[in-house]
Structure 1
Amino acid sequence: MEWLNSLFFGNESFWGGGVAHSVLILALVIALGIMLGKIKVAGISLGVTWILFVGIIFSHFGMRLNEHLIHFMKEFGLILFVYSIGLQVGPGFFSSFKKGGVRLNLLATMVVCAGVLVTCGLYVITGLPVTTMVGILSGAVTNTPGLGAAQQAYSDMTGIDSPDIALGYAVAYPLGVIGIILSMMVLRRVFRIDFAKEEKKALDTMDVQHDSVAQPHSLSVVNPALEDKSIRELQGLVNRDFVISRIRRQGGEIEIADDDTLLHVGDQILVVTTPRDAAAITAFIGRDVQVEWEQLDKRLISRRILITKPELNGKSLAQLKLHAGFGVSITRVNRAGVDLIAQPSLQLQMGDRVTVVGTEVSIANVEKVLGNSMKRLNAPNLIPIFIGIVLGVMLGSLPFTFPGIPQPVKLGLAGGPLIVSILISRFGPKFKLVTYTTMSANLMLREVGIALFLACVGLGAGEEFVETIIDGGGYAWIGYGAIITILPLLIVGVIGRLWFKVDYFTLIGVMAGATTDPPALAYSNDLAGNDIPSVGYATVYPLTMFLRVLSAQLLILFLA
């Protein structure tokens, strides 16, 4: 049985103390943690954070790994995790600041700042090490990248790891999840929320915010000034965003339109534009009409085609010259679930779905040009991922000197890859860089990264965990974490409700996003009975994730 003991507890003189021992312990910790994460109590689960607690238990009972291996696997897992998050949120990061998103992001920023201020106040009052307080902060707001950023910043400063950060995180995390949900329940009671009224208010707001989504409109040309004017001339006169895809002449003939197509009074046209611009375009051209385009001419069909050829990434619609080459018209481009107007200057990205109008034969030819191969799209693009990681590590290692800080500031292995992945996913197509990954591939990369990170954090901190709880004042840490969780959420929740007039469903989504807490989002959606909280969550999540990572590092750099 010596081999079995060596395999589980390690022995450098035997093969089990090397690779086999390390792989076995990591795999067991991750597998058991994920299985426990599926257990729900009162509808609430700690999810993958159970991996951290399983790692602590293993380490407490002597099943540990080499500290250098733990350090490497932890940092590598963190890089994979934050990079995949950046790839996911990057395309919507900058657009989240538009319109109503500014208000919601301001509320989320207030939550982050209030949490940091409360943490600093407790740090001064309690006299606890800043490493412990930052760990408690990260656990209280259930933000694992913040934990990683703090650990990496402290390691860069001192050359050693601080187990206090992980201990504070582990102690505060469970009540952090519960505290976020309790805050939502308190606000519901205080403001006596009527769900029917809140849903109507939220849907009205969403209609206003989504007025940039492309929609088709059938119009009749009435304005005599448009007689013999080309569509290109019409666009210059109206100065609005729209595309005309089909024209029905007075004789009943339907044809595909392009910029040089001439208009005549009495023509019926199919215009694709936004609700924001529809009224102005209709008033200038003529009036709305009802036309069953597909029934009138069965030769012309409309089909969505998937962009899957890498060489098309970053090319504009005008560069494809599809109308001249195949006699088709592109009316809309669906990107990340949103229909965009197919302006000639719009740059295509891998994974876009373009709506093409034309004959069956012409569309079949266009499919060959655009790709339309899901199999090709499912193939992972590893080169941009690892190039992005290289750039992220370089950016994270770049020192910045600020007055009053003795140690140069670095973005670290959490901040650097996160920023690069956000930028590369948003602007990569402009430089012909294919950054598209399927949701399943992104999720796999993220889950593997967070599993490795949490397992290594738990295995590294478990030796001192029980002693810290019993003899080191760990019980008080739970209370500090609860204050950091609940107080900022209640304050900002009241502000959002009274001053910003945000509906309750969107507000609880913002609260979940401001703490980057998926269990709280799941509770919010179940409570609302709709997906309105998800909109608030998605709007503030990118900026919040960035601020959480940055603030954790800054607290270490300024106060450690």
Structure 2
Amino acid sequence: MSPIIQAILVLTSVAVSGLLLGSVRFRGIGLGSAGVLFAGILLGHFGFEIEPEISEFAKEFGLVLFVFMIGLHLGPGIVQLWRQQGIVLNSLAFAVVLQGFLLICVFHGVFQSSGRLSGYAAGGLFSGATTNTPSLGAAQQAVASLEDPEKSRPENVKTLASAYAVAYPGGIVGIIAAMLIMKRLFRINLDQEVDSSETNGKSSLPPINRQSLLIDNARLAGVKFGDLPGLEETGIRISRIRRAGEDSVAAATINTVLGEGDVIQVVGSEEGLQRFVPMIGQVTDVNLMESKGTARLRRIVITEASVLNQTLRQLSLDQRYNATVTRIRRSGVEMAARGTTRLQYGDVVNVVGDDEALDRVTELLGNSVRSLDETHFAPIFFGIALGVLLGMIPFQIPGIPFAVKLGLAGGPLIAAILLSMIGRIGWFVWYIPYSANLALREMGIILFLACAGLGAGRTFFSTAMSADGLLWMFAGIVVTMVPLLTTGIAARYVFKLNYLTICGVVAGSMTDPPALAFANSLSDSEATTTAYAAVYPLTMMLRILAAQTLIYLLV
């Protein structure tokens, strides 16, 4: 059997058995993709193996694919999340990472002299106890990059994986146990927490309404709508107008000249409308949506690359096509259409105009619904290449006497976040359907875990059943639970955070999807997922850097 055929058969065997193992649930909790790691360990113990070069490539490429897809998914909304809750939540996540790092150093200092916790085991223990797979990849890369051949031997890399695998189960159990302990400690009533979360965590974007106004201010006669003072600040858009004494309704834009007795339809937030109406006239019950005329409404999906990241003011649809964008729906959230609003791929815009104008605007903006389900791979591979190059760049951190690299775990993650925020460079558009993103992400982590498990399988059971292995398990649970409990208590009593938000920080600070799934099972609130996403990128970077730093400091 050729090495390639053997590698394919072994990897698929590990993947199938691991996913079956991960699908087994106890009280709603399962290992998920992490089951592949343990299947790899088990099969590796019984002699399943693949060529080292093939294993290394599959493992590293899987890691790159995993973190890059995560970055693409989180990037577009990350700025808004950081603005809303970023400082407090990320400070708490930083405290969790720092405490875990310091505890590992303490355990290493105490047990190093007896040879029971080497620097390699400490690095793997840090990654396993915090259930962070990319940091394991970063630590393994750090070992492989050591200049001393004795320190960079493959056996040392396997020690990392063994310590990771020994500590990982306790990490998952410890995270969930910490959530349950805090629930009992804080005497949580979940219904009250959900109500509080919905009251305090409502979207910063107010709902958009429409109103019909009768212009009874004679001073506005002959004035263009776009020349009204404070228009941009209120975010009000005009969509239709019925002239005084007429029955027909026409589309209106910022260039529409107003007249006394005209009835116009405006769109905006409740607050904006309350500020705007007194300047115009009075609210009327006339429904211009149902009146006859040439004005039409069309919902158009943004799929044309040339208009991405352009503002509505730059597109100037009012001037060029006599059409008005009245509101925008992005990721299920409706927002006002301001002149400064930049369009993103997949936005759905409400446009009002006559039939000819709407046809021209549709051609300009794309409206290819089918393309939303298509996966364009050229931008993905281009972005991965940029991320790999970024990960190779060494940089200095003040206070650390050696250069640190983002590596294959950090470089692609940062590149993906930045590229997805940019959205487009030339004809490269960084948009991928969520289902495709999730599939590629899962494929990547399965490849990585399968190879990591096979590599550790030969020595895992002998290590886990030894005195050192039992010590690693104990130390791993301490490293998992102590930072979470201390930080969670501070979040509740000092920062007065909602319990569901704390659960999101707990899961996000450990970058642990099973813990997030458990927290989400407690309620239907989105507070947990929002907090998880808010701290995930920073936490991922901190854990990658911390894992590398542990190797350089302790080995």
Q: TM-score by structure 2 length?
A: 0.90
Distance in 1 between the 2:228 and 2:25 partners? Answer: 60
Aligned-partner Cα distance in 1 for 2:274–2:128: 50
Shift of 1:545: 2.4
Query: In 2, Cα distance between the equivalents of 1:495 and 1:402?
Result: 28
Aligned to 1:142: 131
Shift in CA distance, 205/468, structure 1 to aligned 2, threshold 3 Å: same
Matches within 5 A, 1:229-378: 229-236=223-230, 239-251=233-245, 253-264=248-259, 267-274=262-269, 277-282=272-277, 284-285=279-280, 292-297=287-292, 300-359=295-354, 362-378=357-373
Q: Name the SS for the 2:30 alignment partner.
A: coil
- What SS does the aligned partner of 2:62 have? helix
Is 2:182 the partner of 1:187? yes
Q: Give the Cα–Cα distance (whole angstroms) in 2 for the partners of residues 213 and 524 of structure 1.
A: 28
Q: CA deviation at 1:236?
A: 4.7
Query: What amino acid maps onto 2:135 in structure 1?
Result: G
Per-residue CA distance 1:377-414 (angstroms, 9 max, x = gap): 33322222111111111111112256775653211111
Deviations 1:326-361 (A, max 9, x none): 433212222223333323343323222212223456
CA deviations on 1:78-97 (whole Å, 9 max, x unpaired) are 11111111111111222221
Aligned AA (2:66): F
Q: Which digits, 9 at most, give the CA deviation of each residue in 1:251-302, with x for residues without a partner?
A: 4553322222233455554444345645444555556665544323475443
Q: d(CA) in 2 for partners of 1:290 and 1:533?
A: 42
Per-residue CA distance 1:406-447 (angstroms, 9 max, x = gap): 653211111111111111111143666311111112112211
Q: 1:548 to 1:450 in 2, by over 3 A?
A: same
Aligned CA distance change for structure 1 residues 294 and 430 (closer, same or farther; 3 Å) = farther
CA distance in 1, matches of 2:443, 2:48: 21
Alignment of 1:401-416 (within 5 A): 401=396, 407-416=402-411
Choose which of 479, 488, 492 in structure 2 pairs with 1:493.
488
Q: Which of 90, 95, 99 is equivalent to 1:105? A: 90
Do residues 447 (structure 1) and 434 (structure 2) align? no
Residue type of the partner of 2:143? Y
Q: Is the CA contact (8 Å cut-off) linking 2:81 and 2:530 kept in structure 1?
A: no
- Alpha-carbon distance, 1:324 to partner: 4.3
Whether 1:548 aligns to 2:543 is: yes
Compared CA separation, residues 238 and 53, structure 1 to 2 (3 A): closer
State the alpha-carbon separation in 1 of the partners of residues 84 and 525 from structure 2. 22
Q: How far apart in 2 are the matches of 1:277 and 1:126?
A: 64
Describe the SS at the equivalent of 1:218: strand
| Segment drifting more, 25-34 vs 170-179 | 170-179
Question: What is the deviation of 1:213?
Answer: 4.6
Counterparts of 1:536 and 1:290 in 2: how far apart (Å)? 43
**Of 188-197 and 462-471, the range deviating more from structure 2:** 188-197
Cα distance change on mapping 1:557 and 1:367 into 2, 3 Å: same
Listed one character per residue, the Cα deviations across residues 205-263 of structure 1 (whole Å, up to 9, x for unaligned) are: 122xx233561242635666645432222255663433332334454553322222233
CA contact (8 A) 1:384 1:433 kept: yes
Query: Residues 111 and 298 from structure 1, CA distance in 2 versus in 1: closer, same or farther, beyond 3 angstroms?
Result: farther
Q: Is the 8 A contact 2:249 2:293 kept in 1?
A: no
Q: Which secondary structure does the structure 2 equivalent of 1:423 belong to?
A: helix
RMSD over equivalenced CA pairs, Å: 2.6
1:43 corresponds, among 13, 28, 32, to 28
Q: Contact 1:212–1:276 at 8 Å: present in 2 too?
A: no
User: Aligned-pair distance for 1:183?
Assistant: 1.2
Quick one: which of 209, 217, 230 aligns to 1:216?
Answer: 209
Gapped regions of structure 2 (runs ≥ 5)? none
Change (3 A) 1:357 1:58: same
In 2, distance between residues paired with 1:289 and 1:533? 43
CA contact (8 A) 1:119 1:137 kept: yes
Name the counterpart of 2:142: 153
The amino acid across from 2:189 in the alignment is D
Q: 1:514 corresponds to which letter in structure 2?
A: S
- In the alignment, residue 481 of structure 1 is paired with which amino acid? G
Specify which of 37, 52, 60 is matched with residue 67 of structure 1. Answer: 52
For residues 524 and 97 of structure 1, what CA distance do their matches in structure 2 show? Answer: 21
Separation of aligned partners in 1, 2:110 and 2:261: 78
CA 224–163 in structure 1, closer or farther in 2 if over 3 Å, else same: farther
Matched, 1:527 2:522: yes
2:27 is paired with a residue whose SS is coil
Provide the residue aligned with 1:6 in structure 2.
Answer: none
User: Cα gap change, 1:301/1:178 in structure 2, threshold over 3 Å: closer, same or farther?
Assistant: farther
> Contact between 1:179 and 1:482, CA under 8 Å: does it hold in 2?
yes
* Equivalent AA in structure 2 for residue 149 of structure 1: A
Matched residue SS, 2:329: strand
Partner of 1:130: 119
The structural deviation recorded for 1:143 is 1.5
Q: CA deviation at 1:51?
A: 0.7
Change over 3 Å in CA distance of 1:335–1:288 after alignment to 2: same
The secondary structure found in structure 2 opposite 1:400 is: strand
1:238 and 1:32, CA in 2 relative to 1: closer, same or farther beyond 3 A?
Answer: closer
Is residue 255–residue 318 contact of structure 2 (8 Å, CA) maintained in 1?
no
* Contact preservation (8 Å) 1:218, 1:291: no
Contact 2:327/2:337 (CA < 8 Å) preserved in 1? yes
- Where 1:372 maps in the other structure, the secondary structure is coil
My pick for the range that moved more, 55-64 or 163-172, is 163-172
Q: Distance in 1 between matches of 2:97 and 2:281?
A: 51
- Is 2:467 the partner of 1:478? no
- The answer as to 2:151 corresponding to 1:166 is no
For the Cα contact (< 8 Å) 1:513–1:544, is it kept in 2?
A: yes
SS at the partner of 2:350? strand
Instruction: Work out whether residues 305 and 354 of structure 1, in 8 Å CA contact, stay in contact via their aligned partners in 2.
Output: yes
Distance in structure 2 (CA, Å) of the matches to 1:182 and 1:285:
59
CA distance in 1 between counterparts of 2:529 and 2:479 reads 24
Greater displacement, 412-421 / 549-558: 549-558
Of 333-342 and 396-405, deviating more is 396-405
SS in 2 for 1:332: strand
Contact 1:331 1:342 (8 Å CA) reproduced: yes
User: Relative to structure 1, is the Cα distance of residues 202 and 59 closer, same or farther in structure 2, using a 3 angstrom cutoff?
Assistant: same
The answer to which of 293-302 and 116-125 deviates more is: 293-302
Per the alignment, residue 94 of structure 1 pairs with 79
Answer yes or no: is the 8 Å Cα contact 1:214–1:272 preserved in 2: no
Amino acid at match of 1:70: S
Query: Aligned pair in 2 of structure 1 residues 445, 531: CA closer, same or farther (>3 Å)?
Result: same
Equivalent-residue separation in structure 2 for 1:283 and 1:125 (angstroms): 73
The verdict on how the C-alpha distance between 1:457 and 1:472 changes in structure 2, with shifts beyond 3 A counting, is farther
